[in-house]
Amino acid sequence: MNTDVEVVGAPEDPAPWFARLEGLWSRFDEDSALCQLNRWSGRWVAVPPLLHLAVRQALAAARLTGGAFDPTILPALVAAGYGRSFELGPTEPGPAVPAGRWPEVRLGPGMVFLPEGVALDLGGIGKGLAVDLVLRWLRQGQPATSLLVNAGGDLALWVRQGDPPWLVEVAAPVLPERTLATVFLRRGAVATSSTLGRRWGPDRHHIIDPTTGRPADSGLVAATVFASTAALADTLAKACLVLGAERALPLLASQRCQGLLVTADRNLILTPGLEELVYVNAE
């Protein structure tokens, strides 16, 4: 998934599970189930159950965020210059392509229908959903230890009864080697999204505003969300960057989630009550 993965307390090597999910959901692997689905727009396509689950959750996230999170942004990403895996460098940009066609995607039992011209990108939810699934698989049976799964900052954990809570550190978006905030958790998930990491030019990054088809410019450069699942935290963090602080805070409140937002001028905005749970290093 083009990121470092850390798993603590696993009774077995979870790497094959991550590889399996990437093989289903990656838009950079022409043989993936997702790429095959995208090639067959305009007709119903039978898909593997885990791809069906990912599409279903992505569409639910789009509804929840009013379209600020949008899995149909793939043409917009390609038009912005993100047409291949990031380490290979940007591709030739083109005119902006607004998204917003997620309501046209249809689901049936084991089937997905993409209208003509629609292609899905699951990068906005894939890491978080993978973390949730791997944690669920690891919890099957009777885990002997507490468990933590972290994929590039999308993190979920489960602390066994009797074990102390886990210290989770949130990296600063401008200086990732520094810690922005720390929190002790026993359950739940954390995800951070930023416009500062995957950049390939001035105002060129991977967080796309579906309404314009261009990289988002909401005044926020990073968002960390604390939620019940990594998939929810992941999608809300990205939606916050699209919406900006004024609209992001009511969205987080509606989902009973906490968030730490970083503005372009490096001010910090905390959801009400978060300061009682998290230590923030504001230096």
What CATH number is associated with residue 203? 3.10.520.10
- Judged against a pLDDT cut of 70, whether residue 88 lies above it is answered with no
Predicted local confidence at residue 148, as pLDDT:
94
User: Quick check: is 137 in a domain?
Assistant: no
In a domain, 12, yes or no: yes
Report helix, strand or coil for 175.
coil
Residue 75, judged by CB atoms within 10 A of its CB (0-12, 13-18, 19+), counts as buried
Give CA–CA dist 243/254, Å, rounded: 14
CA atoms within 13 A on the CB side of 78: 12
Handedness of CA 224, 29, 119, 133 (dihedral sign): negative
> Is 181 part of a structural domain of the chain?
yes
Question: 27, 123 in Cβ contact below 8 A?
Answer: yes
Predicted local confidence at residue 1, as pLDDT:
61
259 beta partners: 225
Dig out the tokens for 266 from the structure. Answer: 């490096």
Radius of gyration of the chain (CA): 18
Residues 161 and 119 grouped into a single domain: no
Does 282 have pLDDT greater than 70? Answer: no
Residue 96: CB atoms within 10 Å: 15
The residue length of the chain stands at 283
Q: What is the mean pLDDT of residues 146-167?
A: 92
Same domain? For 168 and 269 the reply is yes
Domain that holds residue 63: 5-123
10 plus 88 within the same structural domain: yes
Average pLDDT over residues 170-181: 83
Cβ 110 vs Cβ 46: under 8 Å: yes
Single residue among 68, 103, 123 that ends a domain in this structure: 123
* Same domain (yes/no): 207, 251: yes
Q: Using pLDDT thresholds of 50, 70 and 90, give the confidence band for residue 283.
A: low
**Domain count within the chain:** 2
Q: Is the same domain home to 174 and 276?
A: yes
> Do 271 and 193 fall within a single domain?
yes
pLDDT of residue 83: 67
| pLDDT tens string 95-134 | 888 899 999 999 999 999 999 999 999 988 999 999 999 9
pLDDT in tens, 262-277: 999 989 999 998 888 8
Q: pTM, whole model, 2 decimals?
A: 0.93
Helices (H), the chain: 15-25, 33-39, 49-64, 74-80, 123-139, 230-243, 245-254
pLDDT value at residue 205: 77
Half-sphere exposure of 98 (CA within 13 A, CB side): 5
CATH of the domain at 106: 1.10.3980.10
Picking from 211, 181, 191, the residue whose alpha carbon sits closest to that of residue 283 is 181
C-alpha to C-alpha distance for 9 and 259, rounded to whole angstroms? 27
**Domain for residue 130, yes or no?**
no
pLDDT at 82 over 80: no
Q: Is 161 exposed, middle or buried (0-12, 13-18, 19+ CB in 10 A)?
A: exposed
Over residues 1-30, the pLDDT tens digits come to 667 888 999 888 888 999 999 999 999 899
Q: Residues 168, 243: one domain?
A: yes
User: Residue 22: what pLDDT?
Assistant: 92
Same domain assignment for residues 165 and 262: yes
| Mean of pLDDT over the chain | 90
Distance of CA 37 to the CA centre of its chain: 21
In this structure, the answer to whether residues 217 and 260 fall within a common structural domain is yes
Quick: pLDDT tens for 182-223.
999 999 999 999 988 777 777 777 889 999 999 999 999 999
Task: Specify whether 17 is located in the same domain as 62.
Answer: yes
